[in-house]
Structure formats: structure tokens, C-alpha cells
Amino acid sequence: MVLAELGNKLSAALQKMQAVTVVSEEVIDRMLGEVARALLEADVNVKIVGELRKAIKTRLNFEEEAAGTNRRKTIQRAFVEELSKMLDPGTKAYDMKKSKSNVVMFVGLQGAGKTTTIAKFAHHYQRKGWKCCMVCADTFRAGAYDQLRQNATKLRCPFYGSFSEADPVKIAEEGVRQFRREKYEVIIVDTSGRHRQESALFDEMQEIRAAVEPDDVVFVLDATQGQSVGDQAKAFHEAVDIGSVVVTKLDGHAKGGGALSAVAATGAPVVFLGSGEHFDDFEPFNPRSFVSRLLGMGDMRGLVEQIKDTVDNKDQMDKFAKGTFTLRDMYEQFENVMKLGPLNKVMAMIPGIPQLVGEDQGGNRLKRFMYMMDSMTDDELDGRVDLDKCPSRLDRVARGSGTHPVEVHMLLKCHKQFERVVSKMGKSGLMKGGDANMA
């Protein structure tokens, strides 16, 4: 998990509230103090931390008025919502369209991780079944062409570039024209990075932009620079009107919190996080999902979003849209999601699991869930009997799968949560497409 250390500190601060009998003013102040310290240690700007602290406090005072509210729950909600706001610029990034050629131009300073990110980006969309290709319009850095071509070959991704042509605008134009003709769905254009922001770089970007008319301009920046990336993001945003941002090198880096909150403050939406040198070290970024996972609360919406991407069976989608979601559906979806990405990332999305087993064993837990479902009858899987109400059946499932009845309970609880989210999304029409980022 990106920023695991920050997450541990924040959830520890929240946990302490569960342990006390009375959530007094003093307890809240202490918790907010701990939260502020953890955020400052993660390099979040002191002003942003102060505002966050104030916002949580104001909300609590205000919501306290509502009689009968559960104080712990209110605090937790305020906490998640205000932290998410801190990471949310309030602008929407470009949404890739299946029906056309989406041209995505990548920009960034040299060394930020642009070439690596392009490969990860292509890999991400390829896994979801999109036809991707790459164009190398970086004629400035020796070796850029080879590096990109090597990645493209590994990914079996068509590639356009030239050893001899020195004009990046010509290359970009010709490459994009060719791939549009061949009906590629995601056409990725790499551009030159420079050592620092300079007008020649911006001019070149403008020219390429005018030549290829991209649907999205993605700015890649390096999180290890902490808060200072805010200035960089602002300069790029003003010069080339970037559509989205990828923040790289977040793997275990203490300054990640600073980078993420600083970018959000510029109004540029972060769409992916890079957390390593491998193609898989890449995850979509959504402020609310990120915060939920950071605090070990799971991310059912993220999981449902992944499912939406993998379900290509229309009948099944219609069924989900009506809010029906059985244990058998969950089993099939776990299978799908396992194909999508490293298990620990998937596990971090399921509430309750990250805290229970730790990330390394998360994959085992998912497998054990599947063994339990393997031991169920059709009636149980299809929801014709309610296992929760039949202890003898529950014991049988546990015995058959070599697990403990408590674990079967946990599976049923997980299914209930899943079912609730699917049903909520189904009823609001979100299962049929559109934004799943509902409140």
C-alpha cells in the first residue's frame, strides 16, 4: 500500500477513539493532534494540515447538533471526507472512450518516470482489453527511443518511432495518423522531457499538441520532491493545460503525502499512482478510495469499479444493475478481479481484510474465501437459503473447506457489504456506466 506508514499512524489515531468509553473534547483534540503530526511527517503542507484540522472540528461541532448521532461514526466520516477533500482538486479527468481512438500525450521533466509510466499505462489498459500503441516523439534524449521500444516489445504493444527523423512534431503527427487509421483505441504519445522547465520544452509541447490534437495531456511527476511538485504542476498546468497527472515513485517515500496534496491544491486531477519499477506497480487514484484504503477501511467502490471493467456479459451486468448479487456472483467476480492485478492490491479494497491479516497474507484470505464457496451447495451460492440462519450448514462449509466457522461468518459479512454496494450502485444507475464515485 502506498504511504503505508502514514496510513498506520492515521488508523492508529482513529482506533484509540474506539478504546475509550467517552469520546470527550479532549480525546478528539488528542486524536486531531496525532493526525496533524502524521500528516506533517508525510510532508503535507502545514497550512493544509491546519485547514483540515479546523474543517474536521467545525464539522463535528455542527453535526453534534443532530440528536442521536453516533459520535465515533460521525468522527470517522468527517475524517474520511475531509481527508478526501484535501486530495481532491474538484476537477474531472478525461474519461477514455471505447468507441474511438483516444490520443493521450505524456509530458514531464526528465527522470520523473515518464517512459516507465507510459509502459504501465499501456499495460493497465491492455489488461482491460483495450487496443494500445505507442509513439515516441522524444528526439531529445539519446536512448529514449530504445527504452520505449523495449517496453513496447515486452508488452507486445505496436510502436512508432524513428532513428533518423529529428523533428518530434513530424514523428508524432505521422505516428498518430497511422494508428488512428488502424483504429487503435489508446494511442500514447511520449514527448521529450528536459532537465528543468524551459520555454523550448513548452514550445515543443505546444507544437506537438497542435499537431496530434490529444484527448488528454498527462503530466508525470516525481513524488520524492515532496511539496515542491506543486509549483511544477502549476507551471505545466498553466503552460500546456494538462488534463491529468500521474504521481510516480510513491513506493515507501515519506514525502508522498506532500506531493499528492500539493498537486490537488493546483486543481490538476491525479489519475494514477506509480509505486515501483514494474509494470504492475501502478494503480488508479481516486481520493475517496485512496483514503478508505489508507485507513484500512477497504474500498468497495474501487472493487465494484474493477468489476465493471471485467464484466462483459450483458445479462450479468443487467442483473447487477437490478441490485442482485449472490455469493456465486461474488465468487465469479473474485476470479475476474484476481486476473486483473496483484492480489494484495485487490485485498486492500475489501473492508476488514487489510486489518485482519496484513497485506502479505491478503491473497491467502481471498483464496480461503473461494475454498469456502467451493464447499457450498447451489442453493447456498444462489441465495435460496440463508447460511447466516443455518449454523449446521455453516459448520459444514467450514469443515468442507478446512476453515473455521468464524471465517465463514466473515465471508458472509463481506458478501453483505458487497451486495449492499452493488445494489446501491445498481439502483442509482451507476452499474451501467458513468462515475461510481458516489458519496
List residues binding ligand GDP (CB under 6 A): 108, 110-116, 193, 248-249, 251, 274-277, 281
With a CB cutoff of 8 Å and minimum separation 6, the contacts of 77 are none
**C-alpha to C-alpha distance for 387 and 324, rounded to whole angstroms:** 17
Measured from the CB of residue 110, what is the shortest distance to ligand GDP in angstroms?
4
With a CB cutoff of 8 Å and minimum separation 6, the contacts of 8 are none
Measured from the CB of residue 175, what is the shortest distance to ligand GDP in angstroms?
17
Nearer to ligand GDP by C-beta: 144 or 397? Answer: 144
Measured from the CB of residue 167, what is the shortest distance to ligand GDP in angstroms?
20
Nearer to ligand GDP by C-beta: 60 or 109? Answer: 109
Nearer to ligand GDP by C-beta: 277 or 382? Answer: 277
Measured from the CB of residue 224, what is the shortest distance to ligand GDP in angstroms?
9
Measured from the CB of residue 276, what is the shortest distance to ligand GDP in angstroms?
5
Nearer to ligand GDP by C-beta: 102 or 115? Answer: 115
Measured from the CB of residue 248, what is the shortest distance to ligand GDP in angstroms?
4
Nearer to ligand GDP by C-beta: 249 or 396? Answer: 249
Assigned C-alpha cell, 182: 488502424
Nearer to ligand GDP by C-beta: 111 or 402? Answer: 111
Measured from the CB of residue 244, what is the shortest distance to ligand GDP in angstroms?
16
Measured from the CB of residue 116, what is the shortest distance to ligand GDP in angstroms?
3
Measured from the CB of residue 281, what is the shortest distance to ligand GDP in angstroms?
6
Specify the pairing of strand 270-274 against strand 282-284.
Answer: antiparallel
Measured from the CB of residue 112, what is the shortest distance to ligand GDP in angstroms?
4
CA dist 325 → 306, 353, 386, 423 (Å): 15, 20, 14, 8
The 3 state secondary structure assigned to the chain is CCCHHHHHHHHHHHHHHHHCCCCCHHHHHHHHHHHHHHHHHCCCCHHHHHHHHHHHHHHHHHHHCCCCCCHHHHHHHHHHHHHHHHHCCCCCCCCCCCCCCEEEEEEECCCCCHHHHHHHHHHHHHHCCCCEEEEEECCCCCCHHHHHHHHHHHHCCCEECCCCCCCHHHHHHHHHHHHHHCCCCEEEEEECCCCCCCHHHHHHHHHHHHHHCCCEEEEEEEHHHHHHHHHHHHHHHHHHCCCEEEEECCCCCCCHHHHHHHHHHHCCCEEEEECCCCCCCEEECCHHHHHHHHCCCCCHHHHHHHHHHHCCCHHHHHHHHCCCCCHHHHHHHHHHHHHHCCHHHHHCCCCCHHHHHCCCCHHHHHHHHHHHHHCCCHHHHCCCCCHHHCHHHHHHHHHHHCCCHHHHHHHHHHHHHHHHHHHHHHHCCHHHCCCCCCC
Nearer to ligand GDP by C-beta: 236 or 325? Answer: 236
Nearer to ligand GDP by C-beta: 78 or 218? Answer: 218
Measured from the CB of residue 148, what is the shortest distance to ligand GDP in angstroms?
8
Determine the straight-line distance between the first and last CA of the chain, rounded to whole angstroms: 23
Nearer to ligand GDP by C-beta: 140 or 371? Answer: 140
Nearer to ligand GDP by C-beta: 115 or 225? Answer: 115
Nearer to ligand GDP by C-beta: 160 or 418? Answer: 160
